[in-house]
Amino acid sequence: MKKELAHFKIDKAYGGSQAWFRDPIMKIGGCAAASACDLCIDLALHHDIEQVYPFDRHHLTKENYIQFSAIMKSFLHPRIGGITKLELFVKGFEKYLMTIGQKNIRVSVLKAGKNIREAETVILDQIDRGIPIPFLLLRHKNINFRYHTWHWFLITGYEKFEDEMYVKTATYGNYHWFSLKELMDSGYRQKGGGIILTLP
């Protein structure tokens, strides 16, 4: 069983990219804002929630994406140590939604380290509903995750096998597939997790 969302593209990039930001602080620490921007663009494109993206959703450009990131910076701004708690993302993103007058989207968290079957169920349901999942990975003992550590990215798909599930992740304009079990179990006590939306 496999599902991949129709994630947007800008030029040849799979989603947006933090590397495009001109603000040096955002270029280094703007991954939470970038994930929120990507999420909003997908909501505007595929769920007709137009107000979450302030530009032309049918004509996506790198320049508009950079301008959008500057708007999102006010709500999910880089800080010392980064946005390392799911609740900080929820607080900032909910403030953005309230500012634009969108009161019908509910935001909750999926903490890493919980029962893997429960996590699979939540992720399957969210992706089946066509909603990407912002995900925070802190440290990880597996070197294969080195470019995703201390970083926010999106989950945009899954492939379910009999006894294992893989998820498709989007960041820096590219995608990668990872074992969900490995992603959720970093080997460290301090873990991240995902942001789950309930749409009207």
Instruction: Please check the confidence at residue 145 and state whether its pLDDT lies above 80.
Output: yes
Q: What is the CATH number of the domain that holds 21?
A: 3.90.70
Say which residues have a Cβ less than 8 Å from residue 59's Cβ, sequence separation at least 6.
none
Residue 27 Ramachandran class (φ > 0 left, ψ -120 to 50 alpha, else beta)? alpha
User: What's the mean pLDDT when you consider all of the chain?
Assistant: 93
114 pLDDT exceeds 70? no
Q: How many domains does the chain have?
A: 1
- The count of other CB atoms within 10 Å of the CB of residue 154 is 28
Note if the pTM is more than 0.85. Answer: yes
Domain assignment of residue 110, given as a range: 2-198
Whether the per-residue pLDDT at 104 is higher than 70: the answer is yes
Q: How far apart (Å, rounded) are the C-alpha atoms in residues 9 and 159?
A: 21
Q: Is 195 helix (H, G, I), strand (E, B) or coil?
A: strand
Assigned token pair, 183: 């992603």
Asked whether the predicted pLDDT for residue 187 surpasses 80, the reply is: no
